[in-house]
Structure 1
Amino acid sequence: MNKSVKNGVIIFSLSGDIEATAGKKLNSAIRSALGNDGKNVLLNFQDVSYMNSAGLRELIDIVKYCNKSNFKLKISNLPEDICEMFEFTNLTRVFSIHTTESQALTSF
């Protein structure tokens, strides 16, 4: 996971597997960055190869935290199989999902 900031948006470029351990690390990193580095977060999934239900649970916890704290969270570059997971669980209604990072950045 790499963190950068563009136009006031904190971007986490994710890679590998998103499961319980990686999800908890991401959750902690986002909570630490928000308020200090900005109020908008973009999760770029371009290099994510797998996500399980534990990783998904951490993402739900992150979006709940962001909503409660008036931070904006967006997702971009979902691989097809992970996108299908979001659609199957109806989480496309909960998360703001964009095809590309640049589309997500212009939507803040």
Structure 2
Amino acid sequence: MTTRQAGDGARRGTCGCGAPLLRQLVGRVAALSVVADARPLPLARALAAVEPNRLAWCLINGEHVEPRLRWINRGTHPATCPHAHVLDHRCNGPPRGRRP
């Protein structure tokens, strides 16, 4: 069995509500298990949606590598960042296959 390590790329998946997701262990010292929406947003819109328990992430897509999530630091993240940006997933519906 292979163990995921912090710094490995994001894996694509689907939430029980049907939303496409990205999952990654982010960080080197105290890694955070991130589940983010796979739908990219412009940086300004992502930052506007940040809340105390909902973070924005920079989504770095390489041509031949897995996508990678990186935490956005408001003070140092460039406003002209060329990468896509995503938010922590917030499930908005009943799980698929279940009746309300």
- State the TM bucket, normalised to the shorter chain: under 0.3
TM-score by length of 2: 0.26
More helix by share: 1
> Higher RCO, 1 or 2 (CA under 8 Å, sep at least 6)?
2
TM-score by length of 1: 0.25
